[in-house]
Structures are given as structure tokens and as C-alpha cells.
Amino acid sequence: MDRGLARRLEARFEGALHGQARQRHDQTEIRIGAGDVIEVLRALNDEPELAFTMLVDLAGVDTGAEMQVVYHLWSATTSDWLRVIVEGLSRDDPRIASVTFLWPGAEWMERETYDMFGITFEGNRDLRRIYMPPDYTSFPLRKDFYLPDDAARSPGAGVRHVERTHSPVDAAPGVMRRTGA
């Protein structure tokens, strides 16, 4: 746990951070909004005291109330992993800037996030589906994805009973019980 890192980050990105930098085990976590992505990540990558040059993971999260994009970065200057959570993306039309200008290797990770959640990465040259077929209409990892409805819309619809549309009363989107921390 690198306390110095948390202080440095809070000092550098005062306005952009939502709340404090949180630390647990060997991870430091900061939260920013979608508008600050380009500036914050570029600063994290370029500035020599921060030097978070390696993007290790780019994940999408659907908390039920909102969408998030989570970046995991590594730097030689600290022993902690840095987690940047971009929160506040709406569930209807989530849009966020793409980091492919910094890390071309993020292109496929953003494609995967788009495919699974529907988050549009503006600036990604190749934002098309990567796992699902190109004419697929749903976004599977969203919490409101209901498999029988999706199967009923598929080319094999109606063949098996699970693919016939029916909406049971308790088929509500799986919202997080507690919007945990």
C-alpha cells in the first residue's frame, strides 16, 4: 500500500477526482468522470513522476444504476496497481473517450467492452463487435440482459421453450443490492 501514491494523485488531480483515492492491499483506486478521461490518463502516462505507461486492463462494469469503465495501470515508480474508475456513464447511451491514442493495444479491449455492454468509445477507429456476430442486437453482460428474450430474437427463435418470449413478473434488471462503495 503506497500512501505516497495516494497523496500524489490527490495533489495532481484535485478537481477531477470524485472523492479520495482509496487503497486496499496493493491497489490504489481513483474515480473520475467521463469527461476527464483523456486528460487524466494522458497525465498518468506522460508525466515522469507518475509514469503509468502500462495499461494492463480495461473493463466495463454495469452497476445496475450506472455504467463504469475501469482501467488498471502499472508504473515503475510505485509498488501499487492503479485502478481508475470512470463512473457516471448513463445506462441508456454510455459514451466515453477512447484511449487508443495513447495505447493502440486498448482497441480490442474497448471493442470487447462495447460488445458486452454497449459503451461507445469515441475515437476508437474500429468499434464493432468482437465476440458476438455482427448482427447481434443485445449487449450480454448488462444486468438487464434476459436470455430468453434475447434467444427469442435470434435466428433460432422458437425452437426450444427457453427461446419463446415470456416476461415473468420478477424479471427485473439485476441491480446491485447495495451500490457498494
Partner 1 sequence: MATQTFAKGTHPSADDPHVLVEDDYAFYEPIPPYPPRTEREAEFYTLGDGEMFLNMGPQHPSTHGVLRVVLKLDGERVVDIDPVLGYLHRGVEKLVENADYHQTISQVDPLEYISSLFCEWAPVTAYEKLLDVEVPRRAEYIRVLSGELNRISSHALFMGWFALDLGGLTPILWSFIERDEIVEMLAALTGQRMLFNYFRIGGVNGDLNHEFLSRLGDWMSRAVGQVEANTKLLNENEIFVRRASGLGVVDQETAIRLCMTGANLRATGIPFDLRRTHPYSIYPELEFDIPTRSEGDSLARYLLRMEEVKQSLRIIDQCLDKMPDGPIMAKLPRLLRPRPGRAWAAVEGPRGVYGAYAISDGTDQPFRLKIHDPSFIHLQAVGALLPGNLLADTMAIMASLDPVMGGVDK
For residue 32 the three cell numbers come to: 473520475
CB of 131 or CB of 160, closer to partner 1: 131
Instruction: Give every CB contact of residue 98 below 8 A, 6+ residues apart in sequence.
Output: 106, 110, 121, 122, 123, 124, 127
CB of 32 or CB of 61, closer to partner 1: 61
For residue 54 the three cell numbers come to: 502500462
- Shortest Å, Cβ 109 to partner 1: 8
CB of 134 or CB of 168, closer to partner 1: 134
8 Å CB contact between 78 and 58: no
- Shortest Å, Cβ 117 to partner 1: 11
- Shortest Å, Cβ 38 to partner 1: 16
Residue 20 DSSP label: P
CB of 56 or CB of 172, closer to partner 1: 56
User: Phi and psi of 70, rounded to 5°?
Assistant: -115, 125
Q: Which residues bind partner 1 (CB under 8 A)?
A: 24-27, 29, 53-57, 59-62, 70, 72, 74, 76, 79, 81, 83, 102-109, 112, 116, 125-135, 140-141, 145, 176-178, 180-181
- Shortest Å, Cβ 84 to partner 1: 12
Distance of alpha carbon 78 from alpha carbon 23, whole angstroms: 13
Angle at the Cα of 132 from the Cα atoms of 140 and 59, rounded to 5 degrees: 55
